[in-house]
Chains A and B, each alone.
Chain A
């Protein structure tokens, strides 16, 4: 076993190491200047900028290799176009969350430095997940991503709702981790390897009939699938989502609805599109059923919610379903399905973070609920926020020219094309369109409240920090730019999707 680290290896690992160091630097800075918000924020953003720069450097290092992939540590971690795309997305998500949170946290006397350090550690886990080429690295990345997430959910530790959301998130999260790990153990034992390409090779031999398929391996794969379904909150494994999202502090809810979600999709891509691809015909049945139930139930329950945070929690379940449609199309042989999924992930991240940033800004003063009535007459109280919220909700609905439209468009288009070979995917595409139409009702209800209802009581408007406006500007620009010029992301997305297969 060769464990020496070459300069090329160091370049490939640099973004990951820098992310860990940035998280520790935030803690150290807070140790030297306790409670100084500016110092902690400056360290966070400088750290994120360095990580983003190193991701691009590592990407250059990978591009100059023969097949566009650089692997380190005996091939257990890899940098390719997919790693780069997902890493940059995770850095943007962490950066936007760090921009939206301080106002909300400051008003509740919660420490900003600890929040940012925890957030950076969660980002580190997601980055490890995105580049993993080994099932154990995959598991470690998953744990490193979700453990800080539990802490963030319970960050408002004196608040009953926040801790209640955190304990539900934690219990179901670690239960699903144990299930995932159990599946991992049997896949390891039966295939004799933890390398993703090794597992893929073994499954290929099974499909070709040269290796035996044992019930234990089937059980392992079933447990892996169940664990992953918990992590992406697919119906019927979604019970933790509404409570965890409603209870968490609002900026955390924004983060939880995109960061761990895209991270879990990175896990799905690496696991199913990488390791388990030879048996795609078998597991795609499960993905199709999950996609159909997830988007339908998510939308139906979202229709009945009066709390906007809880409504967006159910809507995030529905969005998981749309992304699964793209993945089902990919598994049915349409490469565009994976491209659509990645595009959807990026579009969803910016628009959903934006929507939650608006809610967090409205809730800045303590004691303001996220009920629909809070949004009544917002256009007169805070016109800028009301317009931005309208934009993000239209994008979540999928109305052109916004990012959400092209996300849905690519995913459904891929499903329609895959429908030529697998009629179930045509049905899935139709169901996705019906769902998108039904979703318009509950998104636009918030818009109606903001523009047409009178507030039940007069609430004085409150100022918002420059950081929040800067973050909102980024989300807005991305939401509109991805809706007007989808080409800026299509090149990245297609090279990222193509990198899955390269060994």
Chain B
């Protein structure tokens, strides 16, 4: 059972590096994409990278396991709240400006 897991790394650093790579992809997406929805998705990716780091720390040191899982649940809840607020704001601005591209939101920089 679960034999496909045999090849999975048993080293904490592997997961932390993976988390770092995901976080970097998320930050790059946030800085490079100009679509508000894509930027929102990039932020979600960054938050999930953090969650991976929390869970990895918990999985590799038994003393942190309980803390790490509960923190991950808290982070998931707060990320959901953040996405709700963010989508509400994106919908509101889409109604005003008829575009999701943040470059077009320049009314205050004449």
A151 touches B85 (CB 8 A): yes
A350 within 8 A of B: no
Question: How distant is the Cα of A246 from the Cα of B108 in the complex, in angstroms?
Answer: 8
List A contacts of B36 (CB < 8 A). Answer: 167, 171
A154's nearest neighbour on chain B, judged by CB, is B89
List B contacts of A182 (CB < 8 A). Answer: 23, 46, 49-50, 53
Which segment of A59-67, A187-195, A330-338 sits at the interface? A187-195
Chain B min CB distance to A158 (Å): 7
A206 within 8 A of B: no
Main secondary structure of the interface of A (DSSP, over half): helix
B3 within 8 A of A: no
Chain B min CB distance to A247 (Å): 6
Question: How distant is the Cα of A147 from the Cα of B82 in the complex, in angstroms?
Answer: 7
Question: How distant is the Cα of A111 from the Cα of B93 in the complex, in angstroms?
Answer: 19
Count of chain A to chain B residue pairs whose CB atoms are closer than 8 Å in the complex: 119
A166 within 8 A of B: yes
Q: A164-B107, A178-B43 are in contact. Are A192 and B61 (CB under 8 A)?
A: yes
Which listed residue, A150, A170, A178, A188, touches B71 by the CB 8 Å rule? A188
List A contacts of B102 (CB < 8 A). Answer: 167-168, 171
A186 within 8 A of B: yes
Which listed residue, A136, A150, A161, touches B74 by the CB 8 Å rule? A136
Q: A160-B107, A164-B108 are in contact. Are A178 and B26 (CB under 8 A)?
A: yes
List A contacts of B8 (CB < 8 A). Answer: none
Question: How distant is the Cα of A243 from the Cα of B86 in the complex, in angstroms?
Answer: 17
A163 within 8 A of B: yes
Which listed residue, A150, A163, A178, touches B46 by the CB 8 Å rule? A178
Question: How distant is the Cα of A178 from the Cα of B63 in the complex, in angstroms?
Answer: 25
* Contacts of A115-168 to chain B: CB distance below 8 A: 136, 139-140, 143, 147, 150-151, 154, 157-161, 163-168
Q: A143-B82, A185-B53 are in contact. Are A163 and B26 (CB under 8 A)?
A: no
B64 within 8 A of A: yes
* Contacts of B46-74 to chain A: CB distance below 8 A: 46-47, 49-50, 53-54, 56-57, 61, 63-64, 67-68, 71, 74
B71 touches A160 (CB 8 A): no
A171-190 interface code vs B (CB 8 A; 1 in, 0 out) = 10011011101101110110
Question: How distant is the Cα of A185 from the Cα of B74 in the complex, in angstroms?
Answer: 13
Chain B min CB distance to A224 (Å): 12
A163 touches B89 (CB 8 A): yes
Question: How distant is the Cα of A502 from the Cα of B81 in the complex, in angstroms?
Answer: 34
A161 touches B107 (CB 8 A): yes
A243 touches B108 (CB 8 A): yes
Which listed residue, A181, A186, A188, A247, touches B47 by the CB 8 Å rule? A181
Of listed A150, A157, A165, A178, residue having the most chain B CB within 10 A: A178
A448 within 8 A of B: no
B54 touches A185 (CB 8 A): yes
* Contacts of B67-110 to chain A: CB distance below 8 A: 67-68, 71, 74-75, 78, 81-82, 85-86, 88-90, 92-93, 95-97, 102, 105, 107-109
Question: How distant is the Cα of A143 from the Cα of B95 in the complex, in angstroms?
Answer: 26
B81 touches A143 (CB 8 A): yes
A444 within 8 A of B: no
List A contacts of B40 (CB < 8 A). Answer: 171
* Contacts of A240-275 to chain B: CB distance below 8 A: 242-243, 246-247
Chain A min CB distance to B74 (Å): 6
A177 touches B89 (CB 8 A): no
Chain A min CB distance to B20 (Å): 9
Q: A160-B97, A182-B23 are in contact. Are A147 and B81 (CB under 8 A)?
A: yes
Question: How distant is the Cα of A165 from the Cα of B97 in the complex, in angstroms?
Answer: 13
List B contacts of A242 (CB < 8 A). Answer: 108
B23 touches A158 (CB 8 A): no
Chain A min CB distance to B59 (Å): 11
List B contacts of A247 (CB < 8 A). Answer: 108
List A contacts of B109 (CB < 8 A). Answer: 243
A216 within 8 A of B: yes
A136 touches B71 (CB 8 A): yes
Question: How distant is the Cα of A143 from the Cα of B83 in the complex, in angstroms?
Answer: 12
Question: How distant is the Cα of A443 from the Cα of B48 in the complex, in angstroms?
Answer: 45
B30 touches A175 (CB 8 A): yes
Q: A147-B82, A189-B57 are in contact. Are A178 and B50 (CB under 8 A)?
A: yes
A residues lining the B interface (CB < 8 Å): 136, 139-140, 143, 147, 150-151, 154, 157-161, 163-168, 170-171, 174-175, 177-179, 181-182, 184-186, 188-189, 192, 194, 216, 242-243, 246-247, 310
A-B contact pairs, 19 of them (CB 8 A): A139-B78, A140-B78, A147-B81, A147-B82, A150-B89, A151-B89, A160-B93, A160-B97, A161-B108, A167-B105, A170-B85, A171-B40, A171-B86, A174-B43, A174-B82, A178-B26, A189-B16, A189-B54, A192-B61
Given contacts A161-B107, A171-B36, A189-B53, 13 further A-B contacts (CB under 8 A): A136-B74, A143-B82, A147-B81, A147-B85, A150-B86, A157-B92, A158-B95, A158-B96, A167-B105, A170-B85, A181-B47, A185-B54, A185-B57
Closest 8 CB pairs of A and B: A189-B57, A178-B46, A163-B93, A185-B53, A157-B92, A160-B96, A164-B105, A181-B50
